[in-house]
């Protein structure tokens, strides 16, 4: 795994191309559906695709321009997107977020958040069990009281809350 090129920073060119390409694809989707619903005039005025068609075309134009410029200046672009270690730490936050969101449906938002806070404090803060448990249980409990009790805004709940009769 520790090949020498792994320590090199990630260049700006790759992400630049990917983002512009994604925007171009979105633009094509907008244009395609605008054509489907009609970009011209109906009996009662402009049809649904009239305005989005221009929007899609302009988005396509702008992203094509960004892509083209990036390709033309390919050899001279030396800008750095981020260091490998920085990308690693971004991922170390991103994947717990994804897991957190995925767990909200089966476990409820409160239990999922207990796990999220506990994981963060143990993994990134190197906290001992006692302070971790205090914050990880205390904060969701406080939010439970605020939302379910005081503001009466129901948030997603799971089997634990059902067991406790909520």
Number of residues near other proteins (by CB under 8 A): 72
Q: How far is the CB of 161 from other proteins (least distance, A)?
A: 15
The secondary structure of residue 110, as a DSSP letter, is H
Q: Can you tell me whether residue 46 is helix, strand or coil? A: strand
Single residue of 1, 75, 130, 153 touching other proteins by CB under 8 A: 153
Single residue of 107, 109, 111, 157 touching other proteins by CB under 8 A: 109
CA distances in angstroms from 137 to 95, 116, 131, listed in the order given: 21, 11, 10
Which among 118, 124, 40, 54 is positioned nearest to 89, based on CA atoms? 124
Taking the least distance from each CB to other proteins, the nearer of 8 and 123 is 123
**Does residue 105 bind other proteins (CB under 8 A)?**
yes
Q: Can you tell me whether residue 8 is helix, strand or coil? A: coil
**Does residue 101 bind other proteins (CB under 8 A)?**
yes
Residue that is written with structure tokens 């709940």 in the block: 157
Bin 158: left if φ > 0, else alpha if -120 < ψ < 50, else beta: beta
**Does residue 125 bind other proteins (CB under 8 A)?**
yes
DSSP run (H or E) holding 11: strand 10-11
**Does residue 140 bind other proteins (CB under 8 A)?**
yes
Taking the least distance from each CB to other proteins, the nearer of 98 and 163 is 98
CA dist., res. 135 & res. 14, Å (int): 40
Single residue of 9, 11, 21, 23 touching other proteins by CB under 8 A: 23
Q: How far is the CB of 16 from other proteins (least distance, A)?
A: 6
Within residues 56-85, the interface with other proteins by CB under 8 A covers: 56, 58-59, 61-63, 65-66, 69, 81-82
């Amino acid at each position: 795994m520790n090949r020498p090129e792994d320590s090199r920073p990630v260049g700006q060119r790759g992400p630049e191309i990917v983002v512009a390409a994604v925007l171009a694809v979105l633009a094509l989707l907008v244009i395609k559906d605008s054509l489907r619903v009609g970009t011209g005039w109906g009996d009662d005025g402009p049809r649904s695709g009239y305005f989005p068609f221009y929007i899609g075309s302009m988005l396509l134009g702008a992203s094509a321009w960004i892509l083209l410029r990036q390709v033309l200046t390919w050899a001279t672009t030396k800008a750095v997107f981020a260091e490998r270690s920085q990308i690693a730490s971004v991922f170390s936050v991103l994947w717990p977020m994804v897991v957190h969101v995925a767990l909200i449906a089966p476990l409820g938002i409160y239990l999922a958040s207990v796990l999220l806070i506990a994981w963060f404090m143990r993994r990134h803060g190197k906290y001992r069990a006692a302070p971790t448990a205090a914050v990880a249980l205390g904060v969701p409990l406080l939010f439970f009281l605020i939302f379910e009790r005081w503001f009466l805004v129901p948030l997603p709940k799971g089997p634990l809350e059902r067991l406790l009769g909520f």
